[in-house]
A and B are shown apart, each in its own frame.
Chain A
Amino acid sequence: MIVAVALLMIVWVGLGIEGNELPYVTIRELTTNYEKKPGKRFRLGGNVKEGSILHNEDDLLALSFVLMQEGNQLPVSYHKIVPDMFKDGSEVVVEGIYDGEYFHADNLMTKCASRYEGDLRDTETSL
């Protein structure tokens, strides 16, 4: 019985993963590979380029900025309230869709307040 449940769980979880994948990529990987699956959502990490945050004149919610990572840059547009910690230089994670020119983010997160030692510049995490 336990074996049956185990197999069932593996299948169930596998199906879940299939439909909900969100690759965490670098800017270079995104810009070179995105044509393969247009409309696919990606997740990227990086820092906000100093001076790149721009608001739309009349709609404070519409903003754009430039994401920097490993020397590469990516223009990002976002249309929601930004987290408190979001400003020049902050470390952010964005999720959304790339259209070849702009990255349309539907989710924007900044790192949590509490910190443990270590420099967080390096987004390619490893043990």
Chain B
Amino acid sequence: MPVYGASLLSISLGLAVLTIFLLVFFLRRDDDRFFFVAQRTSLSVCFLVTLATVTLLASLVKGDFDVDYVARYTSLGTPTLYKFTAIWAGQSGSLLFWLFILCCYSAVVLLQNRNRHEKLMPYVIMTLAVVQTFFLLLVNFVANPFSPVEANFPVHDGLGLNPLLQNPTMAIHPPMLYLGYVGFSVPFAFAIAALFTRQLDAVWVRSIRRWTLFTWLALGLGILLGGWWAYNELGWGGYWAWDPVENASFMPWLTGTAFIHSIIIQEKKNMLKVWNMILIFVTFVLCIFGTFLTRSGIVSSVHSFTASSLGPMFLTFVFLILVVSIYLLLTRLDDLKTERRLESFISRESGFLFNNVIFVSICFAVLWGTMFPIVSEAVTGTQITVGAPFFNQITIPIGLILLFLAGIGPLLAWRRTSKESLIRNFSIPVLTGLGTVVVVMGFGVRAVYPLVTVFLTAFVTATVVLEFWRGVTVRTRKFGENPFIALLKMISKNRSRYGGYIVHMGIVFMFVGFIGKAFDKDKEWSMLVGDEVHIAGYDIVLTDLNEEERPNHFAWIATLDVVKEGKDVVSLHPEKRIYFHRNPNPDRRQPHSELSLYSTWREDVYSVFGGIDQDKELLTIKIMVNRLVRFVWLGSYLLLFGTVISLWPSRGFVKGA
């Protein structure tokens, strides 16, 4: 079986290279037959890679332990779902998976556009083929998922997947991220095509709008799922740690968000053409770079892993992309320059431009902080890391400026906003903001950042609500519609815009959740059954300690009764589990803390069973009171909902537009 898989990968590599050559011939000789064949070889690559992926999946599910990858990441005892998800658990499998998604996307792009964009498509297919070739080179020669296991004894069972990863969220988070990372190849390919063909107006931008939105959503959801998993499974009580690998996914998301906004300007006003090119190049490079950073171990991170020759190959690829992109950009600069200038600083165009500048600035700050250890090591010989305090200190103020821009964006007119219109539109949101601040101060909040954030979140909420309100009242007055119907119709007629506002509201709620972080409390204790502890107004008693033997692990279960102001709130049951507890080798037994949490809109009470001294029946318990966390998850749902609305096809929908 693995032999077929490996052969499929070799053939695919050959076909991908062939596709590139065929397209080059087509472009030089203008003989349609070359293009005809190239399209088919490209689709064949997609088909064969899919077959290879299926072959690997089959080996994983069947338990072909003479394949090294299967032996490392599955075992006889692994539940079937996680045998499937093992495909992205390790280096070579995940590279194949990346390639597989790229092929799926490429096939869709090819088929969707088989009767359109005749000038662009050859270059689009060629660019995608080049990226495919790179990954095919990796899986064929550097990290082959079908390599046989290196053992001089027959292998009958595998190492199995770490129990920490056997969680439904871990079944979705990596593929979601990959859908995002890989997806930016498509807008990138179109950008390259536009440069080659000098078709530099809004055509290429309009054709990739939906793709970009979809891929941006996937990346964003992937990031949020990672945060959700960390919070609910890992037990350190947070959802974001500014770890290099987290940052690697965040950076392309930042520039991707900037890109989504600035292509609106190019579509509507034919401006920012050079900027858009640069943005998509940077985003794509960051996606490749992010893929590389996760695997190369060049930065000290709790997620990072060392690798073989992967590092230099990725860097070479990135270098190539940069060289080609910059060359194309410079030689087409004249075609890209626009006569239109920014007419006023108080216009929607400039609002979008500031928004872009801010996103890129945050990205720069995150990049610098993430790469600083490498730079410092090169210069001083010591790897100097900068942790969460640096990132928080730098990005929070800039993030708040961004929030402000989200609020004023809808209030600014295209080209130029008059003073009267500014005052008229600003007054209600500003007053709402100030009012909310006063109320919050009444609760005793005095810290600056939280108060500023409160003002801004209220401000932006007010502008968004006003936008919806204005739109609805215009319809009810004009058509006499019932407000609810008016709302639905209004959104339906301008999905991009109102979907966007809903996404902004999602971001607002997330910021509300971030405010909560300033007020979190946590403490740890060594406890015996019967002990009582206090935190943030809660009285918590350890009332019981039980043991339970379960199918694949052993568990100690603590019962914590949580009381507030004399009233029972909840009973929490954090557990300490040992997986593979029957394994004669003590090193193979895996301890795991299963946290127990109680969530309300105001705060989460979060309990962790740290450790146990069995002889003394002494436990270590950590309790955290995390404020407003639920708003972060609420915000995530709105982000998803809003983007789906923006993506939703409308009647008279031209396929793929």
Contacts and interface: CB of A to CB of B under 8 A. Distances in A.
Nearest to B364: A9
B361 to A, nearest CB: 5
Interface in B261-315: 295-300, 302-303, 305-308, 311-312, 315
A80 B298 contact: no
Contacts of B91: 116-117
Contact of B382 (A23, A60, A85, A126): A23
Contacts, number: 145
B525 A117 contact: no
Chain B: interface size category: 35 or more
Interface string A98-127: 000000000001111111111110100111
A109 B364 contact: no
A116 B138 CA distance: 14
Contacts of A114: 89-90, 162, 165, 303, 305
B54 interface: no
A59 B610 contact: no
A115 B295 CA distance: 9
Interface stretch (B75-83, B326-334, B384-392, B459-467): B384-392
A110 B302 contact: yes
Interface in A42-61: 43, 45, 55, 58-61
Contact of B364 (A13, A58, A95, A117): A13
Interface stretch (B43-51, B120-128, B433-441, B590-598): B590-598
A28 to B, nearest CB: 12
B165 A113 contact: yes
A77 to B, nearest CB: 15
B339 interface: no
Contacts of A113: 162, 164-165
Contacts of B311: 127
Contact of A29 (B235, B303, B382, B620): B382
Interface string A13-28: 1001101111111000
B606 to A, nearest CB: 13
A112 B300 contact: no
Interface of B: 89-92, 94, 143, 162, 164-165, 235, 295-300, 302-303, 305-308, 311-312, 315, 357, 361, 364-365, 368-369, 372-373, 382-387, 389-390, 393-394, 524-526, 587, 590-593, 608, 610-613, 618-620, 622
5 contacts: A20-B387, A24-B385, A29-B382, A116-B94, A126-B298
What 9 pairs between A and B have smallest CB-CB spacing? Answer: A81-B610, A118-B306, A20-B390, A116-B305, A116-B91, A113-B162, A24-B383, A113-B164, A60-B526
Interface of A: 2, 5, 9, 12-13, 16-17, 19-25, 29, 43, 45, 55, 58-61, 80-82, 84-85, 87, 89, 93, 95, 109-120, 122, 125-127
